[in-house]
Amino acid sequence: MSPQNAPQEHPHLLVPEEERAALEREAADLPHLSLNARRLCDLELLLNGGFAPLSGYLSRKDYECVLESMRLENGALWPIPIVLDVPERAAKSIEKRPRLALRDGDGTPLAVLDVEDVWRADPEREAQCVFGTLDQTHPGVRYLYQETGPFYLSGLLRGIRLPRHADFPEYRRTPGELRERFRAMGWKWVVAFQTRNPMHRAHVELTMRASSENGANILIHPVAGMTKPGDIDHICRVRCYEHVLKHYAPDSVTLALLPLAMRMAGPREALWHALIRKNYGCTHFIVGRDHAGPGVDGRGEPFYDPYAAQDLLKTHQSECGIEMVPFQEMVYAPDEGRYLPVDRTSENTRILRISGTKLRKMLERGEEIPGWFTYPEVAEELRGYSSPKKP
């Protein structure tokens, strides 16, 4: 990676400490919007610099450019629209008082938005541009049609504080904090692993190979915001990650949580994930099979080609400033007693694999999870999660 593509420092959008009390007093007298889970995730990553180069919610011109070309109006690469959606009543009231306090579910003010533009959303066009489909079996499309307000807002965003998290404070690091941690540990090259699922032996093997081949330390950076409906919650997953960490060499890996609301947008989302990891100080990013894909559509066909994400990242790799580490699916070769990328097996190689769907069914039936697939302590954690809860 060339010096000009090395991770850069990006300012956050929180106002200086000495201005926060005054802004909070101002927010108390403003019309407010209580943010749902997705809006909270977006706001946190805007405020902490995870969504750099964004300096707030997209303007109408930026939004149009992102839909059509995956770029902001100034030409900067950005593939996913980050907008603040509101109901019609709120949009009309803003015309009278174009300043809005953004609050969490407990009513705590997090930011103030000086509204500069309001426009009606076009969910059909957005779905087609971002997701490549109007099929509402796609969770991103379904959210757009069923849960998104009909108007979008943009303007100057000033942050008071980041959303609070009661769980796992030791793993919740802002981009600036994580970059500083890498510097303190002397990590020059860092390869990030994105996941919304528990990790098993194949994932450990994959990340170790990525580390070895690129001379990089490993950041396990799972999503702890919104993932695909039906996914295992992040509480259980973090406990699984903690077990997995013990199987890496000392000082080779660290864990941090990403407060992201995934869109499951396949190739566009993979590019988005890479840009976010660059902001967090990573130099390399693992992209595997069907990265951020939601599975199959209403006809049973995959929404995205399994390696379309790798192709898109390859096209934009030099520009986005983080090096892609492509990987094929990892499969277990029992006769060799090891994991291999599926493209490095021959027709005569006997391979074993367990899909996520099959694993869930095995857990539901109380079946033993084979040791070649996962670690006993991870299997135990998942069995506890999958066991029927007593009323």
Token code pair at residue 31: 């019309």
Token code pair at residue 251: 């000082």
Tell me how far apart the alpha carbons of residues 84 and 37 are, in angstroms, rounded to a whole number.
13
**Amino acid making up residue 271:** L
The one catalytic residue in 137, 148, 197, 214 is 197
Element holding 153 (H helix, E strand) = strand 151-159
The one catalytic residue in 48, 133, 195, 279 is 195
The one catalytic residue in 39, 173, 179, 196 is 196
Tell me how far apart the alpha carbons of residues 112 and 154 are, in angstroms, rounded to a whole number.
12
Alpha carbon of residue 96 to chain centroid: 36
197 is a catalytic site residue = yes
The full DSSP string for 211-280 is HHHHT-EEEE--B-SB-STTPPPHHHHHHHHHHHHTTSPTTSEEE--B--B----THHHHHHHHHHHHHT
195 is a catalytic site residue = yes
348 is a catalytic site residue = no
- How do 32-34 and 84-86 pair as beta strands? unpaired
**Residues marked as catalytic:** 195-197
